[in-house]
Amino acid sequence: MANWKLHKYYRGFCLPTIRSRLIQLNACTPILKDDDVHELLKRVTNTPSNAGLSNKEFLDFLEQIWCIAAHLDIYLPYPEEITKMEQLHRIVDKLENKVFPYRELIERGSYPLDSESKLSINKAGVGITSRAFDAEHLDICTTGSGSLVQTRIFFAGTYLDDIERGLDHFISSVVDDLSSPHTRKKVIEHKIKELQEELSNICE
């Protein structure tokens, strides 16, 4: 029987990642569950069940899953790379829950995170672009419907520490201040005034 860590990797990482990608591609219903993806992958790979597979057989099965993921334009890291991927998910979580909700209160534009990475803020969403021209290229786009993460096939997460450190600095120096009730009140009042002036100009 395959090592439990392989099963945990497949169930805890591969299935949710593929499910999220299928939903982003509008290839299935948003209520798709991990078990549904599992059944789909078993049919595609012609695998009756992976419960009794040996380590070698399970790794052969995972190779097919990695190929399927590549066709969906996503990269599933090897089990030993999960630490970096957990860090990547942590970065995405900060974008979704710390930055995106305040995007309308932040001046639109690009903010450096490290020497080759930037955080972009616009009306529709927020994103991170890093090292566009090498194997460590990373692109994260966060909108109201979720986040899309794209990397090169041999992405190793070498610069994730620098990116996360830069993002943490941006959050502490910009976002945390905006999230205070007093600052939010001032920003909202300013926006209301701008809208009232715009409405007045339209009505003239």
The confidence score (pLDDT) of residue 79 equals 77
Helix orientation angle between 15-24 and 55-71, rounded to the nearest 10 degrees: 20
For residues 155 and 139, is the Cβ–Cβ distance under 8 A?
no
Same domain, 68 and 110: no
Mean pLDDT of 137-148: 91
**Residue 45 above 90 pLDDT?**
yes
Same domain, 113 and 173: yes
Which residue among 76, 100, 115 closes a domain?
Answer: 76
- Cα 46 to Cα 40: distance, rounded to the nearest angstrom: 10
* Paired tokens of 204: 């003239």
Between 153 and 161, where is the model more confident? Answer: 161
pLDDT digit string, tens, across residues 121-134: 998 899 999 998 88
Residue 186's domain spans which residues? Answer: 82-194
Tell me which of 76, 94, 119 is where a domain ends: 76
Q: Which of 49, 25, 52 is nearest to 38 (CA)?
A: 49
- Tell me: pLDDT of 182 over 90: no
First to last CA, the chain: 77
Which H, E and C letters describe 40-66, residue by residue? HHHHHHCCCCCCCCCHHHHHHHHHHHH
Residue 92 has pLDDT above 90, yes or no: yes
- The per-residue pLDDT for 61 is 92
Residue 145: burial class (beta carbons within 10 Å; 0-12, 13-18, 19+): exposed
Whether residue 154 is predicted with pLDDT greater than 80 in this model: the reply is: no
pLDDT at position 25 is 87
1-41 pLDDT tens trace: 778 888 888 998 899 999 988 888 887 777 889 999 999 99
User: What's the pLDDT score for residue 116?
Assistant: 95
Q: Is the dihedral of CA 82, 99, 142, 133 positive or negative?
A: negative
SS3 category, 189: helix
- Reported as a pLDDT band with limits 50, 70 and 90, residue 109 is very high
Closest by Cα among 101, 98, 104, 10 to 50: 10
Listed in sequence order, the residues at least 6 apart from 5 whose beta carbon sits closer than 8 Å to its beta carbon are 79
Residue 77 above 80 pLDDT? no
Residues 23 and 114 in one domain: no
Q: To the nearest whole number, what is the mean pLDDT of the chain?
A: 88
Q: How confident is the model at residue 188 (pLDDT cuts 50, 70, 90)?
A: confident
Residues 90 and 189 in one domain: yes
